[in-house]
Chain A
């Protein structure tokens, strides 16, 4: 874990729910999440669809207003800022979207796409603006000739480079990367990943890296947070969770993840019943209990809190200590959750 002086972002008890079905149902997309990001750290956020990854990322940036909780960024209470203060503050925290085809305005030239944040924040104008845009493009591996082109004239990988240049234009300290390579061709993904690492090292950036590809997270991140139905199940340094995932959900997630090696891959097993409970119809107690192999009465009754098992290794499971020691017996095959 990190020393408090290095602490850049501290999220505590953040929750965000949405009304669906004309207000008859409440979806608890994020339900009381705590996390910390140090300066220059890459924190991976993994989980399945509906686990609340994207909602959490946007709540931290205040692109969504959380229902409760606090977000402290370098000592500033982000949720307490006024509108005008927030606009200025946005310079420090930026976002890279999954799909550059829809995140870039198709009617704007690259010059304006990358220059716009510089103008909005009053950082540069005129010839100075043009120079800075050219520098930014060069930094992300595009030549200055790209300036006068439109997004559709680029490939997916190049478009993501433009989106990265746009996010970095204002020299943020923290960037939420929401699945930044999952819409790209496999042969192009590695280029963008290397670029993100290069920029992170050059500018000492911190990333919240939202992903579902665990191999990528193991390569890229310092620490990993596993989210399930809006709650943190486990949080650990990358090496710890990769080699010893402790929460039963992390265990199946890592075991199910396909690896490009036939010998290892054939040992992979389907360990979970198909039905994921909906965040609007959350199971009692531990939200994972209907799909868990180790469920006991306690799990059905009480929500387990996050407990620190070793330095920086937090697990929200009643049986975490036994699981870590490998002395936990499966309570039988999980029941298929039918609704």
Chain B
């Protein structure tokens, strides 16, 4: 990577106590995001993608704990931040776009006053200036008639517009990294495209870094520069988007891609990944994917493969991915 990283996560570990033991929701996750880069974080339920995102904000829900690893943002170590410094970096440094636009907005405050609250929490501006900035924030995310819409309430917005308003809210304090958690999952496919185009233009034109959390490989293919695939709390592959889709290095990535339904595959003959996503409380030994992996060998069940770099700068956690 030529540009210095904006976000650098190293060996992140998040544990949740359960009964006598602990459930390791995030297991030694390391990655970087550069300014202007759109990085996808994909995985199924329980893969740790949302917990990773919350850890970036120091918001792991108790009793979960960030037990190990470092997160640095713009050169600062977030682990050493005081509560006051955290409060400032949330929103003004990195900002979160939640999923479910239906429930994330306050139903009894106008859209504008919610944005004004964010602006005034971070900048000393007058109410009047803050309202002008709120209006500009709505215009920036492509909401028509921002002067009128700024005074409206969430129920007056359609699903796609609510999602845009949430992005405006996240952008209000001028963050450099946007963490978007399934931003298009709850909205219709014809509106999805507009939201994805908006995220792309924020990255391309304004140099915003975007970490896009999703389970949808179609969304990843259309907007991301790079993708990290998580399985059972660990990153199993980290690759440039074209490489990931054309030559997936991890057997899990390859199996996921080939199990996607399409017109080209005969009905009833979709390649299947046997079994289910494992319970984090009782992970298989060795590589967590080995019981479902068609290529597993004996060493896969005894030792845990570390992430290593192979062709194209791809990082992969698999003994069998050849260092081509």
Stretch in B19-27, B64-72, B115-123, B254-262 touching the partner: B254-262
| Minimum Cβ distance to chain A for residue B182 (Å) | 13
Known A238-B263, A275-B158; judge A187-B188 contact (CB<8 A): no
**Complex Cα gap A215–B272 (Å):** 16
Select one of A186, A239, A253, A338 contacting B215, CB under 8 A. A186
Q: Indicate if B245 sits at the interface (CB-CB under 8 A).
A: yes
Give the nearest-CB partner of B263 in chain A: A218
Q: Which residues of B contact A264 (CB under 8 A)?
A: 221
**Complex Cα gap A45–B256 (Å):** 25
Kindly name the residue among B159, B215, B272 whose own CB sees the greatest number of chain A CB atoms within 10 A. Answer: B272
Q: A268 and B217: CB pair below 8 A?
A: no
Give the nearest-CB partner of B243 in chain A: A262
Select one of A158, A253, A274 contacting B158, CB under 8 A. A274
**Complex Cα gap A256–B197 (Å):** 11
Near B by CB (< 8 A), chain A positions 178-226 give 185-191, 193-194, 197-198, 201, 212-216, 218-220
Q: A266 and B144: CB pair below 8 A?
A: no
Near A by CB (< 8 A), chain B positions 229-279 give 241-242, 245, 255-257, 259-263, 265, 267-274, 276-277
Q: B259 and A186: CB pair below 8 A?
A: yes
Known A48-B190, A215-B262, A218-B262; judge A338-B145 contact (CB<8 A): yes
**Complex Cα gap A185–B252 (Å):** 13
Kindly name the residue among A193, A198, A220, A262 whose own CB sees the greatest number of chain B CB atoms within 10 A. Answer: A262
Give the nearest-CB partner of B143 in chain A: A274
Known A275-B158, A338-B145; judge A187-B189 contact (CB<8 A): no
Q: A187 and B256: CB pair below 8 A?
A: yes
**Complex Cα gap A336–B277 (Å):** 43
Select one of A191, A271, A274 contacting B164, CB under 8 A. A274
| Minimum Cβ distance to chain B for residue A181 (Å) | 9
Near A by CB (< 8 A), chain B positions 24-43 give none
Select one of B45, B222, B271 contacting A268, CB under 8 A. B222
Q: Indicate if B301 sits at the interface (CB-CB under 8 A).
A: no
Select one of A187, A218, A253, A263 contacting B190, CB under 8 A. A253
**Complex Cα gap A218–B270 (Å):** 13
**Complex Cα gap A294–B161 (Å):** 24
Indicate with 1 or 0, residue by residue over A270-296, a CB within 8 angstroms of chain B CB atoms.
111011100000000000000000000
Select one of B197, B215, B265 contacting A219, CB under 8 A. B265
Give the nearest-CB partner of B242 in chain A: A262
Near B by CB (< 8 A), chain A positions 228-246 give 238-239, 242
Q: Which residues of B contact A188 (CB under 8 A)?
A: 273, 276-277
Q: Which residues of B contact A197 (CB under 8 A)?
A: 267-268
Q: Indicate if A13 sits at the interface (CB-CB under 8 A).
A: no
Q: Indicate if A257 sits at the interface (CB-CB under 8 A).
A: yes
Q: Which residues of B contact A48 (CB under 8 A)?
A: 188-190
Q: Which residues of A contact B222 (CB under 8 A)?
A: 258, 262, 265-266, 268
Q: Indicate if B160 sits at the interface (CB-CB under 8 A).
A: yes
Q: Which residues of B contact A190 (CB under 8 A)?
A: 259-261, 270-273
**Complex Cα gap A264–B219 (Å):** 12
Kindly name the residue among B164, B197, B271, B276 whose own CB sees the greatest number of chain A CB atoms within 10 A. Answer: B276
* Residue tally, chain B, CB below 8 Å to A: 49
Known A185-B45, A242-B263, A260-B245; judge A194-B269 contact (CB<8 A): yes
**Complex Cα gap A252–B193 (Å):** 10
Give the nearest-CB partner of A272 in chain B: B190
Q: B269 and A256: CB pair below 8 A?
A: no
Known A190-B261, A253-B189; judge A258-B218 contact (CB<8 A): yes
Q: B218 and A256: CB pair below 8 A?
A: no
Q: Indicate if B297 sits at the interface (CB-CB under 8 A).
A: no
Q: Indicate if A297 sits at the interface (CB-CB under 8 A).
A: no
Known A185-B277, A256-B192; judge A336-B261 contact (CB<8 A): no
Select one of A258, A270, A336 contacting B144, CB under 8 A. A336
Q: B255 and A193: CB pair below 8 A?
A: no
Q: B158 and A260: CB pair below 8 A?
A: no
Known A258-B221, A338-B144; judge A276-B188 contact (CB<8 A): yes
Give the nearest-CB partner of B46 in chain A: A185
Q: A219 and B263: CB pair below 8 A?
A: yes
Known A201-B268, A256-B192, A257-B218; judge A270-B197 contact (CB<8 A): yes
Q: Which residues of A contact B261 (CB under 8 A)?
A: 189-190, 193, 213, 215-216, 218-220
Q: Indicate if B323 sits at the interface (CB-CB under 8 A).
A: no
Give the nearest-CB partner of A48 in chain B: B188
Q: B268 and A186: CB pair below 8 A?
A: no
Q: Which residues of B contact A252 (CB under 8 A)?
A: 190
Q: B221 and A262: CB pair below 8 A?
A: yes
**Complex Cα gap A185–B216 (Å):** 10
Give the nearest-CB partner of A239 in chain B: B263
**Complex Cα gap A214–B273 (Å):** 21
Give the nearest-CB partner of B268 in chain A: A197
Kindly name the residue among A214, A219, A238 whose own CB sees the greatest number of chain B CB atoms within 10 A. Answer: A219
Q: Which residues of B contact A265 (CB under 8 A)?
A: 218, 221-222
Give the nearest-CB partner of B241 in chain A: A262
Q: Indicate if A105 sits at the interface (CB-CB under 8 A).
A: no
| Minimum Cβ distance to chain A for residue B45 (Å) | 6
Select one of A186, A193, A271, A338 contacting B217, CB under 8 A. A186
- Kindly list the 7 A-B residue pairs having the minimum CB-CB distance in the complex, ordered from nearest: A258-B218, A197-B268, A265-B222, A219-B261, A218-B263, A274-B160, A270-B193
Further pairs besides A188-B273, A258-B221, A261-B245: 11, Cβ < 8 Å: A49-B188, A186-B256, A186-B260, A187-B44, A187-B292, A194-B268, A198-B268, A213-B261, A214-B189, A258-B222, A272-B191
Q: Can you give 26 A-B contacts (C-beta < 8 A)?
A: A49-B159, A49-B188, A186-B44, A187-B276, A188-B273, A188-B276, A190-B259, A190-B260, A190-B272, A194-B268, A194-B270, A201-B268, A215-B218, A215-B262, A218-B263, A253-B189, A256-B192, A258-B192, A266-B222, A270-B194, A271-B190, A272-B190, A272-B194, A274-B161, A275-B160, A276-B159
